[in-house]
Structure 1
Amino acid sequence: MVRSLLLAALAGTSSVALNNVAVNAAPDPAALADHLKASKVVYYGSWRCSACQYQGRLFGDAVNRLPYVECAKPDEFPIQAAACQTAEIRAFPTWILPNGERRVGVQSLEELERWSDMSPSP
């Protein structure tokens, strides 16, 4: 909340040092989605998972750009469902880096940016 208020007060400034604490603007959802896809990160989820729906809302209109694998529609997407089994997905959402490192649960855009080594927006 404090961070949101600081960002609103900055109105257009991408970052500022305040009391020796850097405050950065949130990553652009479309740029982050494109970065995750280019980085070969995979996002596993389920259409009926409320946490996955919330995760998608964080990306707004860029949600369709995510490297998403649907785990709960085996009849419609059998290859994706098989990929979920191969990846041993036990909870949704699950994010996996190419090196196998995982994040389970809803991740903020900032956390995904850091975790995937995306350079912060200027």
Structure 2
Amino acid sequence: MLFSSLGGLALMLAPALAASNPSGPNPVSLAERLSEAKVVYYGSWRCPACQAQTRLFGEEAAPSLPYVECAKPKELPDQAKACVAAGIRAYPTWILPSGERREGVQSLEELEVWISQPNQS
């Protein structure tokens, strides 16, 4: 039982630890570079995986993320239409300008490597 509780605690703390990891990518800088590279992050306000993805960046970086909300068609109709046009099937989905996509929660390190590859943006 103790192991299960500790495992759950580790899962809950992982996003906070990742966002403050000094050896990993700077979350604010990465969010800005993702936006500059025209990468798009599609998600839903009610999606737990999207919430976890955003938490990896932390509160300071979240406003800089290139986020498109797919689940508020009345409040954000243009964003909902963009999700349909992009063929979003799962949340979160990250798409490069080249059309390459990644579905599911991505670590900051994975996103850093992904946008740093030649011919990806």
TM-score interval w.r.t. the shorter chain?
0.7 to 0.9
Structure number with higher strand proportion: 1
**Structure whose CA Rg is larger:** 1
Unaligned runs of at least 5 residues, structure 1: 1-13, 15-24
Q: Which residue of 1 aligns with 2:86?
A: 87
CA distance in 2, matches of 1:99, 1:53: 26
Matched residue count: 96
Query: Percent identity at matched positions?
Result: 66
TM-score, normalised via structure 2 length: 0.77
Which amino acid is the alignment partner of residue 32 of structure 1?
L
Q: Which residue of 2 aligns with 1:26?
A: 24
Unaligned runs of at least 5 residues, structure 2: 1-21
TM-score, normalised via structure 1 length: 0.76
Corresponding residue SS for 2:88: coil
Matched, 1:36 2:31: no
CA distance in 2, matches of 1:40, 1:95: 11
Deviation at 1:108, TM superposition (A): 0.1
CA RMSD of aligned residues (A): 1.5
CA distance in 2, matches of 1:50, 1:66: 17
Write out the 4+ residue segments of structure 1 that deviate beyond 6 Å after TM superposition.
none
Structure number with higher helix proportion: 2
